[in-house]
């Protein structure tokens, strides 16, 4: 009986009872009819039929038990059998379960991140009708189309929202940012939470209900802004306030502004950007005044929901005219924009794309690498399956006499296949469970690997049943993959043949060889790819950044406005430079500090100021990076001065043409050589041109990425700013530097506050997260795949040597020397590996060709990558072969022949 009908019986015993009763009734009636035909009376025939039949109830019960239990019983028997078999050879079982568990665990861990970051829809009602607005990225003409941009200004949002009606409702979603918050309660500490600005109807549009109090409404979008309100996330409310319902009406003090808590959003909702959960939402109208009016301050995403029946095309055509208006307005601000870019810019169109999974910058960077790593993980699973299959195959041959015995005792083939298959399923489910546990531990580690310290990702990896289903699915697929052929093989035993073969001819290893060859191919593939990623990372780390990043602490400091709220001054104000310079001086004097310097923001931090370069001969088509630094910056970072002089203290107030220092790339690009001192250029500042004169040329230094060739940079003298970066080169530990700078900040007296401390090495490392992910995981998986392939090779070789003991014995008896016998085994290895390596090499080349854009300094056909992979494989093959070869060589001809 099939599994299906058994399951049906077990789930629906009433139907079974009915069927049984009907069958017995049928029998009784027929018997009664027969008896009646023989001349018995109606009642009599019925009674006799019953008597002949026996106890109906007991039989019904018996039959029912048979139906329900026989099959389940035989399954249980299979499981018991499997368990007993596993306990009998624990090392065999351990090898299988561990290798599968590692493979399933690795896959599950990666899948859990892919699921959380890429696949899982937002936890809002009906996410399928959500869309996001975006536009093509044209800042880099000539480059291949990158990901689109989806940051908009507040005026754009207001315009789009009004024209999109009635086809769609739009909502504004600012990025989730770390803010300092303090609750107005006794002894409340200052803490860092994630806050986000949103529009009044944004939460309502998503379908979020309030768990407590109220959410925002269109009221909050009115200008000028009314009283400041805040809505907390359910999770933050529980975590921080223990679900205290009296929280409503209390104030929370964020970045110097008090907000009244008016509500808590429904449970489970954390925002629209996976990995960036929001603790507190605040109306966008509470943001800085310029953020609400500036059309080129792009700080928020726009998500919308289609009205029933509305199409993306409809919404697009409603918004496009106003989008175009904005583009025209923005382009007017850049009168010197090169015509090709201007053309591209003016013809760009707004895009409306479905966004059930929300918005995510993480996704833009990491979705491709994550899928690659996932593919590598699948490769590992395949290798593990092939490995287990060949192990099982070897064992099924070893168990051939047991199987033969059972076949000759009358076991059906289907029964044997089922039993062998139950074993596989049992093994892989144990492995699946272990793998799932492993993934729960390693998943968060993986996320940490992809996070920046200052802005950690917070993915919810734990609570998803889809991940659990994934590991069960992976385990079942594995069982199918590795179980099928050994099961079929094992059951195909010809009893006579195999019982005789206890002595006889070694059965062929064909299938086993195929599995090992497949493993070698996969593993070689992984090793080649892993090596490519590792070499690629190595190449990047060997790039000379143009400065010495060791032992440089990077401290970001804000100059807080004093309590008088009207003392708001903008960047460039001389009053702000005073405390900055004081702090730098005090830190420099400290023992252990070798150098210190100021800048407006750190390099390799994602912030850049770039302007068009205008030469005396006319405007160029290029924008270059401009960076404001204090005198002594080059010495502090270890960038060489090639010509002229460093910036001086008085340079920031010098009249135009004001002094600047440029790097070698800048000098070569615009002035044809290093000797550019005294040359002039200018940049557009609204309607003015700011004239600069070059006073020095420094060596090239990377600004934002190690990947690109060193960019041209112009260094401007630092001016006063509301926040700035202090570089400190010293041999002191980071914590000590931080405490020292904090002490000095207090000593300076104005409201200086150190709020982010890191090192230059870390900042550079943050730009290499993708490469580190690929190299780390690719390398680890390559090693794991190699190990599995090695085990597979070793297993098959020792097995084949075991089977050929007699043949080897005869050869030895006939005078074969040790070397010849070892060569015999090595020939096997060569044969096994050769085909696999050729196939693997071909596949690896094809894959590397596709992955080229992620590699650095590696050619698709890279001699280093290929030769190192070959070397690694050669060593692995030798290691795997050495023990079996040794065993073969020490076969004693006398003993092996006597065994006959």
Partner 1 sequence: MPSNRSKSAQNAIDLLVLTVLDRRGPLHGYGIATAIQELSREALRVEEGSLYPALHRMEELGWIAAEWKASETKRRARFYRLTKAGKKQLVSESERWASFSTGVARVLRHA
Nearer to partner 1, 56 or 458 (CB): 56
Does 656 bind partner 1 (CB under 8 A)? Our answer is no
Contact status: 494 vs partner 1 (CB under 8 A): no
Query: How far is it, in rounded angstroms, from Cα 515 to Cα 789?
Result: 10
The yes or no reply on residue 311 touching partner 1 (CB under 8 A) is no
Task: Please state the closest distance from residue 77 (CB atom) to partner 1, in A.
Answer: 11
Q: Among residues 3 and 184, whose Cβ is nearest to partner 1?
A: 3
Tell me which stretch binds partner 1 (CB under 8 A): 66-74, 102-110, 430-438, 507-515.
66-74
Sole binder of partner 1 in the list 8, 27, 452, 689 (CB under 8 A) = 27
Nearer to partner 1, 62 or 505 (CB): 62
- 3-state SS class at 2: coil
Contact flag: residue 7 with partner 1 (CB under 8 A): no
Q: Is 13 in the site for partner 1 (CB under 8 A)?
A: no
Sign of the C-alpha dihedral, residues 859, 861, 863, 869? positive
Q: In this structure, what token pair is assigned to residue 629?
A: 């630094």
Among 63, 123, 451, 868, binds partner 1 (CB under 8 A): 63
Q: How far is the CB of 23 from partner 1 (least distance, A)?
A: 5
Distance CA 474, CA 491 (A): 25
Q: Which of 802, 819, 624 is nearest to 711 (CA)?
A: 624
Stretch that binds partner 1, among 55-63, 111-119, 248-256, 603-611 (CB under 8 A): 55-63
Residue 688: other Cβ atoms inside 10 A:
10
- Cβ 399 to partner 1 shortest distance, Å: 22
12 binds partner 1 (CB under 8 A): no
Q: Residue 346 interacts with partner 1 (CB under 8 A)?
A: no
Q: ∠ CA(681), CA(683), CA(689), 5° rounding?
A: 95
Least separation in angstroms between CB 414 and partner 1: 7
Q: Does 26 bind partner 1 (CB under 8 A)?
A: yes
Distance CA 865, CA 41 (A): 96
Which of 858, 730, 847, 735 has its CA nearest to residue 782? 847
Among 35, 45, 46, 67, binds partner 1 (CB under 8 A): 67
Q: Which two tokens stand for residue 315?
A: 């919404």
Only one of the segments 54-62, 157-165, 343-351, 778-786 lies at the binding site for partner 1 (rule: CB under 8 A); that segment is: 54-62
Residue 91 C-beta: closest distance to partner 1, Å: 36
Enumerate the β-bridge partners of residue 714.
Answer: 626, 662
Nearest-approach distance from CB 83 to partner 1, in angstroms: 20
Report the alpha-carbon distance of residue 345 to residue 328 in Å, rounded. 9
Q: How many CB atoms lie within 10 A of CB 465?
A: 7
Cβ within 8 Å of residue 850, ≥6 positions away:
none
Cα separation, 234 vs 730, whole angstroms: 45
- Work out whether the CA dihedral 627, 630, 632, 633 comes out positive or negative: negative
Q: Other CB atoms closer than 10 Å to residue 116's CB: what's the count? A: 23
Report the alpha-carbon distance of residue 665 to residue 700 in Å, rounded. Answer: 6
* Residue 66 interacts with partner 1 (CB under 8 A): yes or no: yes
| Pairing mode of beta strands 658-663, 680-685 | unpaired
Interface with partner 1 (CB under 8 A), residue total 29
**Is 1 or 449 the residue whose CB approaches partner 1 more closely?**
1
Q: What string marks each residue from 382 to 421 as x (binds partner 1 by CB under 8 A) or -? A: ----------------------------x-x-x-------
Stretch that binds partner 1, among 47-55, 125-133, 156-164, 731-739 (CB under 8 A): 47-55
- Give the dihedral sign, CA 22/25/31/32: negative
Helix/strand/coil percentages in the chain, nearest 5:
55, 15, 30
| Burial environment of residue 165 by CB neighbours within 10 A (0 to 12, 13 to 18, 19 or more) | exposed
Residue with Cβ nearer partner 1 (62 or 347): 62
Q: Which two tokens stand for residue 483?
A: 């179980």
Strand intervals (E) in 645-730: 658-663, 680-685, 688-698, 713-717, 723-730
The least CB distance from residue 14 to partner 1, in Å, is 16
Alpha helices in 714-804 (DSSP H): 734-748, 760-766, 769-803
Site string for partner 1, 244-283 (x = CB under 8 A): ----------------------------------------
Closest approach of partner 1 to the CB of residue 114, in Å? 43
Binding-site string for partner 1 from residue 71 to residue 110, where x marks contact by CB under 8 A and - marks none: x-x-------------------------------------
Distance CA 3, CA 770 (A): 47
* By the rule CB under 8 A, 30 interacts with partner 1: yes
- In the complex with partner 1, the residue whose CB is nearer, 8 or 640, is 8
Residues in the chain: 900
Is 223 among the residues that bind partner 1 (CB under 8 A)? no
| 15 near partner 1 (CB under 8 A) | no
Nearest alpha-carbon partner for 730 in 859, 519, 588: 588
H or E element at residue 168: strand 168-174
Residue 363 near partner 1 by CB under 8 A: no
Binding residue for partner 1 (CB under 8 A) from 13, 15, 53, 569? 53
Tokens of 404: 């033969």
The burial of 731, by beta-carbon neighbours within 10 Å (0-12 exposed, 13-18 middle, 19 or more buried), is given as exposed
59 lies in the site for partner 1, by CB under 8 A: yes
Query: Rg for the chain (alpha carbons), in Å?
Result: 37
Strand stretches in 351-439, DSSP E: 351-354
Looking at residues 414 to 453 of the shown chain, list those that interact with partner 1 (rule: CB under 8 A). 414
Q: Convert residues 720-749 into a mask of x (bound to partner 1 by CB under 8 A) and - (unbound).
A: ------------------------------
55 counts as binding partner 1 under rule CB under 8 A: yes
Q: Does 65 bind partner 1 (CB under 8 A)?
A: yes
When the beta carbons of 22 and 656 are compared against partner 1, the nearer one is: 22
Name the one range near partner 1 by CB under 8 A: 24-32, 601-609, 679-687, 888-896: 24-32
Nearest CB to partner 1, comparing residues 128 and 410 = 410
Least Å distance, CB 493 to partner 1, is 15
Residue 854 Cβ vs partner 1, minimum distance, rounded to whole Å: 54
Given candidates 8, 69, 178, 762, which one binds partner 1 under the rule CB under 8 A?
69
The residue (of 27 and 707) whose beta carbon lies closer to partner 1 is 27
Report the distance separating Cα 235 and Cα 744, nearest Å.
Answer: 38
Q: How far apart are CA 240 and CA 247, in angstroms?
A: 11
Q: To the nearest whole angstrom, how small is the minimum distance from the Cβ of residue 126 to partner 1?
A: 46
CA 420/CA 79 separation, integer angstroms: 10
- Rounded to 10 degrees, the C-alpha dihedral 468/474/475/477 comes to 140
Output the smallest distance, CB 423 to partner 1, in A.
Answer: 20
Q: Is the dihedral of CA 160, 162, 164, 169 positive or negative?
A: positive
**CB neighbour class for 255 (10 Å; exposed up to 12, middle 13-18, buried from 19):** exposed
**Distance in Å, CB of 12 to partner 1, minimum:** 16
Question: Based on CB atoms, which residue is closest to partner 1, 412 or 731?
Answer: 412
- Tell me if 62 contacts partner 1 by CB under 8 A: yes
Q: What is the DSSP letter of 224?
A: S
Q: By C-beta, is 31 or 318 nearer to partner 1?
A: 31
Using CB under 8 A, which of the segments 26-34, 150-158, 331-339, 861-869 binds partner 1? 26-34
Binding site for partner 1 (CB under 8 A): 1, 19-20, 22-24, 26-27, 30-31, 34, 52-56, 59, 62-63, 65-67, 69-71, 73, 410, 412, 414
């Amino acid at each position: 009986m099939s599994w299906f009908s058994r399951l049906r019986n077990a789930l629906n015993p009433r139907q079974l009872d009915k069927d049984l009763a009907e069958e017995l009734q049928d029998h009784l009636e027929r018997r009664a009819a027969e008896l009646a035909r023989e001349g018995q009376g109606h009642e009599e025939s019925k009674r006799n039929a019953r008597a002949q039949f026996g106890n109906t109830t007991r039989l019904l019960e018996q039959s029912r038990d048979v139906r329900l239990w026989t099959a389940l019983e035989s399954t249980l028997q299979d499981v018991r059998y499997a368990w007993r078999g596993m306990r009998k050879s624990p090392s065999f079982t351990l090898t299988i379960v561990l290798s599968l568990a590692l493979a399933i665990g690795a896959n599950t861990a990666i899948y859990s991140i892919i699921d959380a970051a890429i696949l899982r829809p937002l936890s809002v009602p009906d996410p399928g009708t959500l869309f996001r607005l975006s536009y093509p990225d044209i800042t880099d003409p000539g480059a291949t189309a990158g990901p689109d941009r989806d940051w908009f200004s507040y005026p754009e949002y207001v315009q789009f929202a009004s024209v999109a009606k009635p086809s769609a409702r739009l909502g504004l979603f600012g990025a989730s940012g770390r803010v300092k918050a303090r609750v107005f309660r006794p002894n409340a500490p200052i803490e860092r939470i994630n806050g986000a600005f949103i529009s009044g109807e944004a939460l309502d549009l998503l379908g979020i209900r309030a768990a407590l109090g109220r959410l925002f409404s269109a009221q909050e979008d009115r200008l000028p802004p009314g009283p400041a309100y805040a809505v907390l996330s359910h999770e933050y409310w529980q975590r921080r306030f223990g679900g205290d319902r009296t929280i409503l009406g209390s104030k929370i003090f964020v970045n110097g502004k008090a907000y009244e808590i008016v509500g808590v959003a429904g449970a489970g909702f954390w925002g629209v950007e996976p990995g960036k959960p929001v603790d507190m939402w605040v109306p966008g109208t509470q943001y800085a005044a310029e953020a609400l009016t500036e059309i080129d301050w792009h700080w928020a995403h726009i998500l919308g929901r289609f009205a029933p029946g509305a199409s993306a095309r409809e919404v697009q055509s409603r918004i496009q005219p106003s989008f175009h208006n904005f583009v025209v307005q923005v382009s007017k601000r850049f009168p010197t924009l090169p015509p090709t870019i201007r053309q591209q810019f003016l013809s760009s169109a707004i895009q409306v794309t479905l966004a059930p999974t929300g918005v995510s910058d993480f996704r833009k960077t990491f979705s491709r690498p994550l899928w690659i790593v996932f593919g590598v993980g699948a490769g590992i699973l395949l290798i593990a399956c092939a490995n287990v299959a060949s192990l099982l195959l070897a064992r099924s041959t070893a168990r051939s006499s047991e199987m033969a015995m059972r076949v000759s005792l009358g076991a059906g083939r289907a029964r044997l296949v089922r039993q062998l298959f139950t074993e596989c399923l049992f093994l892989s489910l144990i492995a699946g469970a272990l793998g799932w546990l492993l993934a729960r531990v390693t998943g968060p580690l993986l996320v940490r690997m992809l996070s920046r310290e200052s802005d950690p990702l917070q993915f919810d990896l734990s609570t998803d049943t889809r991940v659990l289903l994934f590991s069960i699915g992976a385990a079942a697929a594995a069982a199918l993959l590795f179980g099928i052929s050994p099961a079929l093989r094992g059951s195909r035993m010809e009893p006579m043949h195999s019982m005789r073969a206890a002595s006889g001819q070694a059965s062929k290893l064909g299938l086993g060889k195929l599995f090992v060859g497949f493993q070698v191919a996969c593993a070689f593939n992984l090793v080649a790819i892993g090596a490519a990623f590792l070499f690629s990372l190595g190449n990047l780390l060997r790039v000379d950044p143009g400065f010495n990043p060791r032992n440089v602490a990077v401290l970001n400091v804000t100059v807080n406005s004093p309590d008088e709220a009207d003392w708001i001054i903008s960047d460039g104000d001389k009053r702000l430079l005073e405390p900055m310079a004081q702090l730098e001086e005090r830190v420099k004097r400290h023992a252990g500090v070798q150098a210190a310097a100021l800048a407006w923001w750190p390099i390799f931090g994602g912030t850049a100021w770039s302007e068009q370069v205008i030469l005396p001969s006319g405007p160029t088509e290029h924008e270059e990076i401009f960076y404001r630094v204090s005198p002594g910056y080059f010495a502090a970072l270890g960038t060489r001065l090639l010509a002229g002089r460093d910036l001086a203290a008085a340079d920031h107030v010098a009249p135009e043409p004001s002094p600047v220092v440029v790097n070698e790339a800048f000098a070569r690009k615009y002035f044809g050589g290093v000797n550019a001192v005294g040359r002039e250029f200018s940049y557009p500042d609204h309607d003015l041109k700011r004239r600069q004169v070059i006073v020095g040329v420094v060596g090239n230094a990377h600004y934002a990425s190690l990947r690109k060739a060193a960019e041209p940079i112009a260094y401007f003298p630092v001016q006063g700013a509301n926040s700035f970066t202090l570089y400190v080169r010293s041999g002191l530990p980071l914590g000590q530097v931080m405490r020292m700078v904090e002490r000095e900040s207090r000593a300076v007296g104005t409201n200086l506050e150190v709020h982010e401390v890191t090192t230059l090495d870390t900042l550079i490392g943050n730009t290499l997260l993708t490469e580190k992910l690929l190299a780390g995981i690719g390398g680890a998986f390559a090693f794991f795949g190699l190990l599995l392939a090695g085990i597979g090779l070793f297993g098959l070789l020792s097995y084949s040597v075991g089977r050929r003991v007699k043949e080897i014995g005869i050869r030895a008896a006939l005078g074969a020397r040790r070397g010849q016998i070892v060569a015999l085994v090595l020939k096997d290895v060569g044969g096994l590996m050769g085909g696999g390596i050729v196939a693997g090499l071909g596949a690896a080349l094809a894959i590397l060709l596709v992955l080229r854009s992620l590699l650095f300094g590696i050619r698709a056909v890279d001699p280093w990558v290929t030769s190192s992979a070959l070397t690694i494989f050669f060593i692995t093959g030798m290691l795997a072969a050495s023990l079996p070869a040794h065993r073969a060589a020490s076969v004693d001809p006398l003993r092996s022949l006597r065994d006959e």
